[in-house]
Structure 1
Amino acid sequence: MGVADMAVRSSEAAVDVAAVMNHPRRVRAIKHMLGAVADGIHPVVDLWRPYIDGVHNLPADGRFLLVGNHTQGGAEAFLTPYAVRRELGVRVRPLADRQFGQMRGLFGDLLAAFGGVVGAPETARELMRHDQTILVFPGGGREIPKFKGEEYTLRWQGRSGFARIAVENGYPIVPVGLVGGDDVYRSMTTRDSAWGRFSEAVSGRFSGRQDMAMPLMRGIGPTLIPRPERMYLRFGTPIDTTTPVGIDASGWADEVKRRTQTSLEQILDDLLSLREADPYRSLSPLGWSRAARP
């Protein structure tokens, strides 16, 4: 689940801020059902054996902004809220890409019940006014498709809105990294290959964004069946966004973004190193007893 840059001008596409905290009855009913499922799914997730570390870093009051990396598998969008709910008992509110957050019908109701809202400044501010736990992926949708050699890299160019909103509201940031999702599919082409250039041209033609180009991928063998990969999730140390006395707020927001990105990149590097020695990496039952644990 991606997120549009929260620096987007508020004059673009109006957002129903009142609906952020006040869902219609049908959405509340779906929310109740999803909550019941989430509370009873622990045994199933445990069988999947995800590696989850750093939950002690989560502020107990639930008032924080989670900043993570997107992967091709998308597990981060579900495993992160799951881990937070299991540890603190609170619901995470993902900031969804504008094109998804404004969808109507059943999909829109499901997204709203899951907690997703349009990733715009006004909705983020509304959630922060209510001390909600928020999840954002600054790379947005463009960080999901990874060409060969781009696995576990952050594509945050020009995306600093999350830091400005956090600084504005004094909201702590908790970096959260996931490793495993970029390996369920293997990219066979680089971005500067003939296919990469062709895909960028097609993406630019139909969506107006060349950064949404798709690589050629495969899962198990030549198919698109996802490869079995263990997921590794780590919550980092919270980053205080309170503006120091005498420091310009805009400059401080840039520094908060830099610290968040540096922390998240370190988390990803550490998880990649940890995974190398894990006999359970490919979800092999033979390595279960020796699977890496926090």
Structure 2
Amino acid sequence: MTSEQSAEPETPPAETQQPRHAGFAYSLGRGLITPLARTIYRPRIEGRENVPLDGPVIFASNHLSFIDSIAIPVAAPRPVHFLAKSSYFEGPGFSGWLSKTFFESIGAIPVRRGAGQAALDALDVQRKLLEEGLAVALYPEGTRSTDGRLYKGRTGVAFLALQTGAPVVPVGLIGTDKVMPVGAKMPTLKERITVRFGTPLDLSPHGPATSGRARRQATDEIMAAIHALSGQELADAYNEAPAQGTIEKIKQALPHERR
């Protein structure tokens, strides 16, 4: 989930790949990586029965570690897609091919990250996936929490749910930050993680996607459900990088809807 920060003038538009159903790489990866990861890390998986096995679904999760985007597909009882930085798919040589193949195998779809139009284009890709009846995973906080607290949710997830009518399955991840802390190059084998799937949320009673109030209230419901599953301390703030320069500081201080 991309952060809704003000776009720099030189920020390029998002370059996205057309949504597709799980291909050979994903089928092979799911067949190999899932049982291997479960054997090595022995994740505790709770609430799998809460996940609809067909139709569009949005997994909305807390975000503690790089491996969150591996933990959710490994634990979920159905294929899951998520957006990943396009640079993971564009490297040269064998290492570039290996990176591209790995991310395709875990259901990643490349997108050029950014704010403004780039963020809207990313939401559009996810909308198309949902319209195909697929499942997508997003992080309402926008980026990883470096201090373990749960930050306020941005409204993009709620917008997507209200626009498409897809149910939102809240997810609480516990321990992924210990298995692979921010900055670590490789995960440790000494820790176990817990993945908790909550009861699907129907957000339609909040109102239409065009209503800012509906998006905010729906987002708060999502975050409350995630908090109940993860048990994290609440930060009561948005998780965003410190603003650089006076203009950016003013922009962050002004009230605006974070998507």
TM-score range normalised by the length of the shorter chain: 0.5 to 0.7
Is residue 160 of structure 1 aligned with residue 161 of structure 2?
A: no
Alignment partner, residue 56 of structure 2: 63
Structure with larger RCO (C-alpha < 8 A, sep 6+): 2
| 1:139 aligned partner, one-letter code | E
| Length, aligned pairs only | 214
Query: What SS is found at the alignment partner of 2:204?
Result: coil
Conservation of the 8 A alpha-carbon contact between 1:70 and 1:143: yes
Please, which of 55, 69, 75 is the counterpart of residue 83 of structure 1? 75
Conservation of the 8 A alpha-carbon contact between 1:101 and 1:116: no
Q: How does the TM-score come out when normalised to structure 2? A: 0.68
Q: CA deviation at 1:184?
A: 3.9
Alignment partner, residue 144 of structure 2: 143
Please, which of 168, 172, 175 is the counterpart of residue 177 of structure 1? 172
Please, which of 131, 134, 145 is the counterpart of residue 133 of structure 2? 131
CA RMSD of aligned residues (A): 3.5
User: Structure 2: where are the runs of 5+ without partners?
Assistant: 114-121, 233-259
Q: CA deviation at 1:233?
A: 1.1
Alignment partner, residue 257 of structure 1: 219
- The 1:171/1:93 distance shift into structure 2, 3 A limit, reads same
Q: Whose Rg is larger?
A: 1
Alignment partner, residue 43 of structure 2: 50
Alignment partner, residue 116 of structure 1: 108
- The 1:154/1:170 distance shift into structure 2, 3 A limit, reads same
Mapped to 2, the partners of 1:233 and 1:22 lie a distance apart of 25
User: Structure 1: where are the runs of 5+ without partners?
Assistant: 187-213, 218-223, 271-294
Is residue 36 of structure 1 aligned with residue 50 of structure 2?
A: no
| 2:2 aligned partner, one-letter code | A
- Which shows bigger deviation, 177-186 or 61-70? 177-186
- The 1:124/1:12 distance shift into structure 2, 3 A limit, reads farther
Mapped to 2, the partners of 1:182 and 1:136 lie a distance apart of 17
Q: CA deviation at 1:123?
A: 0.4
| 1:4 aligned partner, one-letter code | T
Conservation of the 8 A alpha-carbon contact between 1:50 and 1:231: yes
- The 1:229/1:58 distance shift into structure 2, 3 A limit, reads same
- The 1:109/1:6 distance shift into structure 2, 3 A limit, reads farther
Is residue 4 of structure 1 aligned with residue 11 of structure 2?
A: no
Mapped to 1, the partners of 2:138 and 2:187 lie a distance apart of 28
- The superposition leaves residues 177-205 of structure 1 with CA deviations (integer Å, 9 ceiling, x where unpaired) of 1111223478xxxxxxxxxxxxxxxxxxx
